[in-house]
């Protein structure tokens, strides 16, 4: 089974050949311009012959590249699980936290789906976004850079806690429960992003990522201007919303409740 690195090692010399030929043709074009500007049509004819030879070389190299690409069976690459195993290996090398199996993985906070069998085209999705690549190392790098960008982004814990508190109170009211009762974070999320359009822009994975940063900030951050809140973890240690600290500590948070009203 040919993998993408093997294909790349075949394509790179051909691509360099095209680059070198284009560079040479560019220099010849300048000579032709100089020839015609000075009226030296004799040299212009000679230089045009060089351009013609360059065109033939480019066509030959383009045909060779096309043949290499056509010979690479992307469907078989995915069906054999070679792509998937190489992607997981590349992500592991980059220190990316991975859970899941058989084409569906969480690389927090992303959901990664690898599609490709006898009936479906070979595709990779990072959440809802398709990554148009059959190169495992490139896909791993895209995921790694995405995670790094999210971790680097500024996050206002106080603002998020205020919004979460409002959604919590709305959840209490809608369920007929008293303010101070324990509420499921999944229900709170649906009141935080009540419309389906809002949940597309701010999905559960994005919520889990914000929640993880708030949770990691510690109990001092679990307060609004007037109230103090507490989060409950799942009893089995697995259900609930999975959050991951920057150091890779995993927690499953299931509930939120008003712990103390200060006003």
Same-domain pairing of 229 and 210: yes
According to the model, what pLDDT value does residue 246 have? Answer: 87
Query: Tokens for 25?
Result: 């043709």
The residue among 239 and 26 whose pLDDT is bigger is: 26
According to the model, what pLDDT value does residue 239 have? Answer: 76
Phi, psi angle pair for 256, to nearest 5°: -140, 145
Same-domain pairing of 164 and 189: yes
| Contact present, 58 and 52 (Cβ < 8 Å) | no
Round to whole Å and give the CA distance between 90 and 74. Answer: 18
User: pTM score > 0.75 for this model?
Assistant: yes
Q: How many domains does the chain have?
A: 3
Query: Tokens for 158?
Result: 């106080």
Same-domain pairing of 253 and 173: yes
Same-domain pairing of 232 and 182: yes
- Which residue stretches of 179-223 are H helix? 185-192, 196-201, 204-217
Q: Is the pLDDT of residue 238 over 80?
A: no
Buried b (16+ CB within 10 A) or exposed e, 177-208: eeeeeebbbebbbbbbbeeeeebeeebbbbbb
Round to whole Å and give the CA distance between 261 and 263. Answer: 6
According to the model, what pLDDT value does residue 191 have? Answer: 94
Give pLDDT tens digits for 184-227. 999 999 999 988 888 888 999 999 999 999 999 999 999 999 99
Round to whole Å and give the CA distance between 20 and 17. Answer: 5
List beta partners, residue 110.
107
End-of-domain residue from the set 151, 166, 193: 151
- Which residue stretches of 94-244 are H helix? 136-152, 157-175, 185-192, 196-201, 204-217
According to the model, what pLDDT value does residue 262 have? Answer: 60
According to the model, what pLDDT value does residue 83 have? Answer: 95
Question: Domain span at residue 128?
Answer: 76-151
Give pLDDT tens digits for 174-188. 999 999 999 999 999
According to the model, what pLDDT value does residue 116 have? Answer: 82
Same-domain pairing of 177 and 193: yes
Same-domain pairing of 177 and 195: yes
According to the model, what pLDDT value does residue 82 have? Answer: 94
Q: Is the pLDDT of residue 1 over 60?
A: no
Same-domain pairing of 30 and 68: yes
Give pLDDT tens digits for 68-94. 999 999 999 999 999 999 999 999 999
Give pLDDT tens digits for 99-152. 999 999 999 999 999 998 777 789 999 998 999 999 999 999 999 999 999 999
Residue 256's nearest CA partner among 177, 191, 188 is 188
Q: Is the pLDDT of residue 261 over 80?
A: no
What average pLDDT does the structure give for the chain? 92
| Contact present, 122 and 134 (Cβ < 8 Å) | yes
End-of-domain residue from the set 151, 166, 187: 151
Query: Tokens for 253?
Result: 């948070």
Same-domain pairing of 203 and 250: yes
Residue 83's nearest CA partner among 40, 124, 41, 26 is 124
Same-domain pairing of 147 and 178: no
According to the model, what pLDDT value does residue 172 have? Answer: 95
129 CB-side CA count, 13 A: 9
End-of-domain residue from the set 72, 91, 109: 72
User: What is the rounded average pLDDT of the residues 10-19?
Assistant: 96
According to the model, what pLDDT value does residue 35 have? Answer: 93
Same-domain pairing of 12 and 41: yes
Same-domain pairing of 105 and 168: no
50: CATH: 1.20.5
Same-domain pairing of 121 and 193: no
According to the model, what pLDDT value does residue 139 have? Answer: 97
Signed CA dihedral, 177, 181, 185, 186: sign only: negative
């Amino acid at each position: 089974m040919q993998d993408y690195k093997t294909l790349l090692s075949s394509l790179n010399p051909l691509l360099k050949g095209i680059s070198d030929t284009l560079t040479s043709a560019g220099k010849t074009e300048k000579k032709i311009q100089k020839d015609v500007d000075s009226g030296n049509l004799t040299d212009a004819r000679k230089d045009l012959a060089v351009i013609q030879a360059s065109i033939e070389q480019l066509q030959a190299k383009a045909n060779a590249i096309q043949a290499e690409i056509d010979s690479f069976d992307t469907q078989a690459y995915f069906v054999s699980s070679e792509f998937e195993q190489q992607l997981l290996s590349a992500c592991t090398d980059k220190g990316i936290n991975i859970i899941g199996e058989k084409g569906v993985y969480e690389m927090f906070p992303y959901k990664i789906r690898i599609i490709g069998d006898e009936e479906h085209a070979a595709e990779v999705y990072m959440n809802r976004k398709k990554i148009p690549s059959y190169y495992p190392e490139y896909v791993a790098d895209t995921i790694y850079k995405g995670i790094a960008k999210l971790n680097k982004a500024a996050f206002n814990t106080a603002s998020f806690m205020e919004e979460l508190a409002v959604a919590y109170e709305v959840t209490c009211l809608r369920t007929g429960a008293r303010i101070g009762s324990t509420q499921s974070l999944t229900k709170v999320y649906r009141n935080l992003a009540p419309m389906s359009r809002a949940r597309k822009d701010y999905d559960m994975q994005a919520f889990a990522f914000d929640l993880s940063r708030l949770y990691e900030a510690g109990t001092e951050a679990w307060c609004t201007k007037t109230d103090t809140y507490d989060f409950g973890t799942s009893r089995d240690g697995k259900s609930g919303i999975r959050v991951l600290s920057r150091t890779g500590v995993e927690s499953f948070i299931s509930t939120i409740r008003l712990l103390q009203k200060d006003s």
